[in-house]
A and B are shown apart, each in its own frame.
Chain A
Amino acid sequence: MISFPYPALFFISLCTLAYELILMRLFSIVQWYHFAYMVISVSLLGFAASGTLLAALNIRKGRQSQRNMFGLYFLLISFLMLLFIPITFFIAQKIPFSPFELAWQKKQFLYLCGYYFLFLIPFFLAGCFVGLSFIYCKENVARVYCCNMIGSSAGVLVAFISFYWIPPKMLLFVPMLLSFCALLCCFSREGGGGRSVYAVVAATGAVFLSIWIMWGGISLNISPYKGISHCLQLPGARLEYEGYSPLGLLQVVSSPSLRDAPGLSLKYTKSTPTQKALFMDGNANGVVTEFNNDRSSLEYLDYATFSLGYHLVFPGRVLILKPEGETQILGSYFHGYDQIKAIESHRDILSLLKGPLNSFTQNIYNNNQHIQVEASSPREYLAGQNSRYDIIQLGLTGSLGGGGGGIYATEENYVYTIEAFQEYFKHLNPDGILTASAWLNNPPRSFLKLITLAIETLEREVQTEIGLSFAAIRSWGTGTVVLKRGIFSPEDISKIRIFCEKRGFDPVYFSGIHPKEVNKYNILERPLYYDSSIHLLDQDTREQFYAGYIFNVRPPTDDKPYFSHYFKLSAISYLLKTLGRDWIPFLEWGYIILWGTLVQVLVFAPIFIFLPLFFIKKGSKPRMLMKGRNFVFFSLLGLAFMFLEMAFVQRFIFLLNHPIYALALIIFTLTLFSGIGSLSSQSLGKKGVYLPFTAIMVLICFYIFCLDPLLKTLLNCTVIWKSLSAVFLLAPLAFFMGMPFPLGLQVVSNRNSEYIPWIWGINGLASVVAPVLGSLLIVNIGFYPLMFVSLALYLFAFLFFYSIFPKCPQRDQDKIPL
């Protein structure tokens, strides 16, 4: 009989998680993040499929010959993973899939299925490996689960480090190498056909890996519809810089035909300076403007709506938050402010401005005494200091004409929440102003949400009538809101009028505005922004407005920080009636894709749940009852685990500033300590088996009440401290969360080991359904309700476990048979 290759299982688990994250990264570059999410989520059904196959084959660790075959299975699976990881990606790149054409090209669905099928293969193989491990070590499932979890946590670390050091085209080398390591660890003298088979497979794997390295990786075929592809077609376009990190692939393109001036007034008649375009994962991410120490070359920036603030308060200290490139920084510099502080949350962009592009900008971000740029998030920066400013300005949000197609609908954004605006407002000097701008889209949504955000912030912060401290203007493409710490004087109002008149902008609202002023230059069918502002400023009609407006324009809060989420489920029939089926997805791709993914996963789910049952011996009614209980128990566990993971990722983005950092840290902590918890579950006594459930529920209550204050306290710490604190905060919960699954599986395994593959499939299915469902829930109900949902799920799981456990035959009265 072969000795179980725990190192191989560790490497396969490591490889699988690293592969998943790397695939997501590569897919985000060649296509779009949300399509990547959908494709990979559906492909993860490979895990569930592996459970079904193992149940169908009825593989059991029975006879000696069968036992020896396990060695060969492990070896072959590792080898096939090594082969299929690059091959599937290579073939997928040949598929002409274009997500935008899904609405009318039926063959695109065929291509999409091709993607699913291809990417399902590696996950299916990995699932088979882990499932077989559970079957082989059915007496010690906790150890297998521990090895699987610790391998997964290491996978997160490896992928994260790879993003820093390995160029995207070579990234697949990492999971390939890891599967090769697993292959090497599969060596067993007793099993799998002996040394000769092993030597041939290992040598072939080594040759394949070497060929792949010599080939130089896989060149990425970026979609022709991505910003970078368009830009590189411009005359004289040149890719000037390419850098990568976990934040993404940062590229800089130069071309004489590149000109960016967001929402520029139509009354501006002069030229604009030369620029270079920034792209993150192939998507436009602002521009860098050439500066030759001549301020007059920046005059065009005074013809944008965001410049209004500079005409109201001068001189003064300016704070620019999230400048997106450096348009706002140069805008304030043009006006002659001598104390400009800018907070750039994207460290890679800041390094670029201060490094490779410093000659293009005349070193303005390194050596200019008036400008200071710092890498931080707005909330983080303000939490650590008491300075006050005369102008606080936020960069432009949204995209031109909703050009992004709402792909950011489910992205957490803690910069645009009521709590964030309150924080900004508190850092204003008396008579200071806070300004924020958004692209206008049609039907109106993003700027309207900015208006509601401004109004509700003022309501919490000022004692006087809100309308006296609020102003808003719009051009053909952008809108700007201004919140004053104090009230707008008649002189201020006059300045706003002059600013708009000179540039062909329309006022949306200011104290004493006349309806005739609001729809003069940029004519709407009805002055919707003005009408909405009037309704929103009146507390009595505000709720009615939120309820009746076709989109969700309620201001985001820290609990639901989704500024770009406008979709209202209650309005779906109305939207279908007015916009038509083809239009809805384009309003909010990100959100629709989540629903689409959930539907697809649920369509496949019954196959993976019910098919294996045909292969398990039919039994009496109690046995059927047992099946139902098992299904419910393990589904509850999977859902609860993933819901908590989703909730913590959302919350820790607030602390760590970027989804990728939060995702990596949370998955790493949860999997690592769950693995340790799984191992510790072996030593639980009979009475102790209820401990993990109780501990989990108590800890969830603790997080509900204490997490937010703790995160706010930690906000100003260094990254290292933040990360260590996050691990320390989550470790106890993760430790206990790792126990219920092996405990339950062991009970089932002792009773009937035929159920193991089926339960493995259920676990795989839950790990696909739960993240998607969790994302939808958190967007719609927020963080706290999702925590309560998880609490309830664990409570039900506990009740089910209680109903299963006492009936389990015990080998030992004091210990659970592990």
Chain B
Amino acid sequence: MSGYRLPSGGYVDRSKNVSFTWDQTRHIGHAGDTVASALMAHGERILGRSFKYHRPRGIMSAGVEESGAVVSLWSGPRRVANVKATTAEIVDGLEVFGQNAWPSVRRDFGAVNNMLGRFFGAGFYYKTFFGITGRGTWEWMQFEKVIRQAAGMGRASDQPDPDHYEIVHDHCDVLVVGSGPAGLSAVEAAADAGMDVILVEQDFELGGSILSGMTTEIEGKPAEEWRTSKISGLDGKGRIWTRTTAFGLYDHGVMGLLERVTDHLAKPGDLPRERMRIVRAQRIILATGAVERPFAFGNNDTPGVMLASAAATYVNRFAVAPGKRVVLGTNNDSAYHAAMTLAGVGIDTTILDSRELLPGAAAEAARAAGIHVRAGCVPIEAKGGRSVTAVEIGRHQGDKNIAEDRIECDIIGISGGWTPVMHLISHKGIRPAWSDDLSAFVVTDPGAEPVALAGAAAGHFTTDSAVKAGRAAGSDAAKAITGKRRTKLPAPVHGWEQPLEPLWEIRDPGRKLKSFIDPQHDVTCDDVRLAHKEGYVSVEHLKRYTTLGMATDQGKMGNVIGLALMAEASGKTIPETGTTTFRPPYTPVSIGAMAGDERGMHWRPTRHSPMREEHEKLGCKFVDAGFWKRSWYYPQGDEGLAEAAMREAIAVREHCGMVDVSTLGKIMVQGPDSSEFLNRVYSNAFAKLPVGKARYGLMLRDDGIVFDDGTTWRLSETDFFMTTTTANAGPVMLHLATLLQTRWPEMKVHITSVSDHWGGVAVAGPKARAVLDAVCPDIDFSDEAMPFMGVRQGHMSTDDGEIPVMTARLSFSGEQAWEVMAPADYCPAMFRALLPGIKEAGGIPYGLEAMDCLRVEKGHVTGRELDGRTTAADVGLGGMASQKKYYIGRVLAGRPDLVRADRPTLVGLIPTMPDARFKAGSILFPPGEEEGHGLGHVSSIADSPAMKAWIGLGFVSGGLAQWEGKTIVARNPIDDQNTEVKVVSPHMFDAKGERMHG
């Protein structure tokens, strides 16, 4: 037991008790408490275990830089792991658990790792297990499983997240991040200049360093009075968002914010748990403050060691005394503020100042307040094991620190200086520069970014200078937006009586101290030196080798020490050594917030045919094809896919059928240059296509590979109706648009996507003509009037009246067939008009599965064959290409490798054994040579009723010329299955096309 609640003071509401559990034991805190402050008030000291050694960890800070008190919240599907106890608000019913420990953080068997600690240096696991026997990664992977069990953080829930999240878009003139003295001043100045302002604060309380009692008076007012007057002054002048973290700064003034909406509510209701806010600001002011950094000394990871400012924050803000006797180790003036706060509530306080020259006024005030001040003194080693009971101290003489005394205490507070929080500006690639004066990295010039830094974030370390800088930044932002003359922002000010003494690590020659830089990942000072010795000279390599700064605090506490020690080891200065790069997010962002509403059904759009309801009435099963739900098959009774598709395919060949082709891309190409345009984009001739005729066209990419195929119907001299494959509806439209806007802007052609405006069916089979004749009185479907590829416009009699239709005699199935297109809203009526005739003729509506079977029988290609690797010749359509004109892709299609004689080309495949089956994707080999890459692959398969066999299409090196009639092997290496197949023409059924034309 060490911490306790103070009888008065603080920002907690003593009238509101909040009940929560810590490892299943009930505790009471107050509204305004964090998990850390509430547990500290109950005297809890061990809140976590370290990643590698399972050493006990206590509260080390009072903010997002926390590296010790990392816990899990809630249980079941709402469990959240790796939460900093120092930022999590308590709420009624909250469950808090220690993590990375068994059975508990206070008694953890994993701590045995700690005893072996001297064997577990940087890179230990890799060095030891990686390729122990020369077998490389296999060994590592086996050991890794064991190591991952022992090392680690909290465990995420493996159940679906029951909460919902949302993404909100916002705009403003000036966005201010941080609500300390600088931020409040900046937002006030900008608002007073008439700007639309947003102030964001990651904490649940506005005020920043004021809450920590770092300052007593601002602009002649008591600090707390100044704070409340500024906040009330902002009423109605702008948006103020607390519990909102600016996690990432992006280009052109775009900031990513994460608002925690319900984590602090016992009853969240229907609100989203978190809200991602994407703000576009004209100007941004970063008043993000600074975080205190420690210096390293022996056993400085023991629970009870914390930042000096954190100790003061618990007193001032939460009215919790961290201990009864506090020893503060410092190398700068700021710890004197902290000491005054601690002594003010009766805590026995000692300052060990590493400097011989003390800050006169501060030291005098401290002594007057009963604080023991010892000059030229440092802590050497924390004593007590599971938590601090004393500190061994010594005289500080440069690199030598000679132990000379011991002070009984329960808290050791450390101040090694302050590190401005400049993560956000670093996200934009702006590198900070080292300031010897401030002994810190600072960004003084944000370059061309619409961003300014003010306050401690910019090295304005005194409250006065922070207020001035904030106000200057606020009014300057307004000037920048309104186009007025800009003003220069004030230079950094440290405001110390005595300069800070750079101090990173306390060493006592002849003693081996265990001094931590990254307490969460167990990175010690020795690890940094070892890494250097082993050749890791770049800070980026050091980071990855030692994992320094890669824990959940992302090095907010320890990074600078690591850099300084690295600089020392390599004989360089800190600026020469440089920093690692900060990247978003500043603090963790849940995946749920990034997804927002875009989950489940809202992950992507669902597209339906206009005839969806007609299909559903018939019990149609749908299949996903891109965004589309396509009609797949229409089962009767308890039929499965295979039986239904087989029955449908037979019915089409024997009688007739109707299939929905609404998913095809449809593009109107209009204007006087349309036929020339089509002539350039298709590989076959289009210039002479007569009105009232359609043509199958093959479109190539610039590099000569097939892009898409489809038919184009000439409706008039200047109007063409183009269809594309379902998958390429968008890409073809964009391709044509690009050509018209960039390559051929002089062409008088207009293109319009009409994919959603027209729907259609293909009516196919020997009885198709009779069916259509019966419902389209003004269209002559006879061979004479409408031969193959004929196009007609007319009407169809439906229960919705006479509807306009256009039709072309085309066939994908190999039967006599017509594609009939109608305006989308009339499509259900068209479907209903056709269905009775089809049924009467013994036909059926058929789905994608049967259609695929019919086209494989005919050797017609789809995306499975036009897979972005094949040329027109590869799929047997080389003969279609016009030799009389130049078109897109013609030149590069002639490259030597694309015309090689041994390219795999399209063939039909039929098993030699009657009942044998094989799979699409199988590799084709010459018999007896089933190894390597083979001759090619199987692209499509079908259970063919017409061929009474399982058949396939595939690509074989040398093609029909070399293999027709010969037997090869289709090998499926996954199932270890070989099937002998005979190579045949891909036009397996009705090769002469008599059914289609007749």
Q: Do A and B come from one complex?
A: no
> Taking beta carbons and an 8 Å cutoff, which residues of B are in contact with A?
none
Residues of A that sit less than 8 Å from B by CB: none
